[in-house]
């Protein structure tokens, strides 16, 4: 039986990597199954040895292997199966929900059922279009899912949360600073005073509809009308990429109708223009709108040019928002996706 040990800097000793270590990591129920016998893996071995009355030397010899297999559970067996799976390959014929489900742990435990449901609804309808959507390879899916994870957070939030405090509104939106309004309910009022009326303050909760309608009113970049038009609330951010505003939601609608007419018909795409966020936050549009952003901004070029690397992740992040502070976080999601998909 193969003996595994840390080389501790000596080139003359065996430096274990690969499937044997992956099997070991599966039996130890480690979160990271990377085939490298360093750091956390060695520490986990020593802890296991100590619990089982073995010398805690970190060397996985006959006695340690025997104990590991004797104590294995069904979870451990599944861990081994995951660890030794070969590199995933997607094609139209073999693309299925099980492969996509490998990426579910990118999100928090409680959110995973919602993530699974969303992707299960979208996968069957996009299978014929994987190549044109640049989602035909596991590398593309890992990068796409990592981006979605960063945008939706661990809770898989699919609609903009406008539950702001009164004091926060003027800091975030210029509409609640120096402007003056003739509000139908509050009369002539300043932006600061309006923030106290519609924001979350002591004594009352936030009026998210009013916040959206005033925060996004008369925005040329979003194509929204006056607060009275209701455009702000109707086209608030929704989907895995928080598609916001009349212009952006119309562009998504037009892309779907022009490039994928069958898909547009099957998903009742006409509802996007009338319902806005209420249509996009639901499956399959919550994922499809993110695919539109992925294609429209050519985010896929990151992995096509640079593979699954930090350079690719930074390329994607820069196109999403060059001024964000999430560069390292997005790369962390990509690395976890690589691990979950079992790609070396």
Q: Is the Cβ–Cβ distance between 30 and 40 less than 8 Å?
A: yes
pLDDT for 12 equals: 30
CATH 1.10.101 in the chain: give the residue spans.
Answer: 19-83
pLDDT for 17 equals: 53
| pTM, rounded to two decimals | 0.72
Q: How far apart are CA 29 and CA 23, in angstroms?
A: 10
pLDDT for 7 equals: 53
pLDDT for 108 equals: 94
CATH 1.10.530 in the chain: give the residue spans.
Answer: 89-160+237-344
pLDDT for 5 equals: 64
Q: How far apart are CA 115 and CA 111, in angstroms?
A: 6
pLDDT for 94 equals: 46
The fold of 19-83 is Muramoyl-pentapeptide Carboxypeptidase; domain 1 (1.10.101)
Of 331, 326, 337, residue with least CA distance to 311: 331
pLDDT for 10 equals: 37
Of 66, 60, 65, 128, residue with least CA distance to 92: 128
Q: How far apart are the first and last CA of the chain?
A: 24
Q: Is the Cβ–Cβ distance between 198 and 206 less than 8 Å?
A: yes
Q: How far apart are CA 100 and CA 119, in angstroms?
A: 8
* CA–centroid distance for 12 within its chain: 43
Q: How far apart are CA 88 and CA 105, in angstroms?
A: 17
- Domain 89-160+237-344 matching CATH 1.10.530: the answer reads yes
For residue 201, list its beta bridge partners. Answer: 204
Positions of the chain with pLDDT under 50 = 1, 8-15, 73-95
Q: Is the Cβ–Cβ distance between 145 and 106 less than 8 Å?
A: yes
Q: Is the Cβ–Cβ distance between 340 and 105 less than 8 Å?
A: yes
Q: How far apart are CA 37 and CA 17, in angstroms?
A: 6
Of 314, 277, 319, 275, residue with least CA distance to 295: 319
């Amino acid at each position: 039986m193969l003996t595994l040990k840390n080389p501790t800097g000596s080139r003359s000793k065996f430096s274990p990597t690969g499937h044997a270590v992956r099997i070991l990591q599966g039996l130890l129920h480690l979160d990271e199954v990377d085939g490298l016998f360093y750091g956390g893996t060695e520490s986990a071995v020593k802890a296991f040895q100590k619990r089982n009355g073995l010398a805690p030397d970190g060397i996985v010899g006959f006695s340690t292997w025997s104990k590991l297999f004797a104590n294995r559970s069904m979870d451990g067996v599944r861990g081994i199966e995951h660890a030794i799976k070969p590199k995933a390959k997607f094609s139209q014929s073999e693309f299925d929900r099980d492969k996509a489900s490998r990426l579910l742990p990118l999100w928090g435990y409680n959110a995973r059922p919602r993530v699974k449901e969303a992707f299960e609804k979208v996968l069957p309808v996009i299978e014929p279009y994987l190549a044109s959507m640049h989602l035909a390879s596991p590398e593309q899916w890992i990068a796409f899912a990592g981006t979605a994870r960063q945008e939706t957070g661990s809770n898989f939030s699919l609609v903009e949360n406008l539950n702001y405090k009164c004091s926060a509104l003027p800091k975030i939106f210029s509409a609640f600073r120096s402007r003056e309004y003739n509000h139908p309910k509050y009369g002539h009022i300043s932006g600061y005073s309006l923030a106290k009326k519609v924001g979350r303050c002591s004594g009352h909760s936030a009026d998210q509809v009013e916040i959206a309608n005033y925060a996004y009113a008369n925005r040329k970049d979003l194509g929204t009308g006056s607060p009275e038009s209701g455009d702000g609330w109707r086209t608030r951010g929704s989907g895995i990429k928080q598609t916001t505003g009349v212009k952006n939601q119309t562009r998504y609608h037009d892309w779907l109708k022009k490039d994928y007419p069958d898909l547009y018909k099957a998903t009742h795409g006409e509802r996007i223009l009338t319902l806005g966020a209420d249509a996009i936050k639901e499956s399959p549009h919550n994922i499809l709108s993110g695919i539109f952003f992925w294609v429209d901004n050519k985010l896929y070029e990151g992995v096509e040019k640079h593979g699954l690397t930090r350079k690719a992740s930074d390329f994607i992040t820069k196109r999403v928002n060059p001024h964000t502070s999430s560069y390292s976080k997005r790369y962390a999601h990509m690395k976890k996706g690589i691990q979950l998909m079992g790609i070396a």
